[in-house]
Amino acid sequence: MSVPGMTETTEAVARARAGDAEAWGQIYREMGPAIFRFCRRALPTREDAEDATMEIFSKLWEGKLSQYDETRSFSAWLYRVAANHCWDILRRRKIRQDKETEDIDNVPLEHPDPNQLDRLIEQKTSEEVRHALDKLGARARMALVLRYYSDMSYDEIADALGVRRAFVGVVLLRARHELRQALEGKSALAAGGTS
């Protein structure tokens, strides 16, 4: 059950826990770029993502790594740490906080065609996609980033966001619908106002 690179990362984590500075460097070199990309998609600006990445690795250095359970995937655990950190940043800023849950009972039941959304994303620049993601509520945005950019399972997303697994599907359904509207230029925020 050997995954290329995973054994090295696991060994580096064990060495880092023992205080090996070189192992810390190895973990950062291997995981830093992926965590930055995750933060860049989860947060509004590049500066926010850079700061968040450094803060996440600082947390690890300052003792958070001791909470890692070696029976789990290190990268999944690290994404969860990153998701929680980004989620905290978004909550503190109160970005569209009301939008997250105000109309959860009014989620459209039709499932948007995933191929249609994929085609739409392919037609847009990464900046346009990022701008569309900015229009989503924090929870919806985080769920999409966790699912599609970090390839996490529903269980992992539920764990990272601190919600029931069943709720993840609802959030993703709604988020895909909102993202499609934002990419098509039919922003629900612009149309609906702040009722």
Q: Domain span at residue 51? A: 6-93
Q: CB–CB of 141/42 below 8 Å? A: yes
- CATH number of residue 54's parent domain: 1.10.1740.10
Give me the sign of the Cα torsion angle 118, 122, 124, 125: positive
State the residue for tokens 């924090």: 138
Domain boundary among 62, 93, 124: 93
Q: Which of 45, 77, 93 is the last residue of a domain?
A: 93
pLDDT in tens, 9-58: 778 888 988 888 898 889 999 999 999 999 988 888 889 999 999 999 98
- The candidate with the shortest Cα–Cα distance to 57, out of 97, 90, 29, is 29
Q: The domain that contains 157 carries what CATH number?
A: 1.10.10.10
Are 118 and 182 members of one domain?
yes
Total domains, the chain: 2
| Per-residue confidence band for 7, with pLDDT thresholds at 50, 70 and 90 | low
**Residue 137 pLDDT more than 90?**
no
In the Cβ-directed half-sphere of 47, how many Cα atoms lie within 13 Å? 0
pTM recorded for the entire structure: 0.62
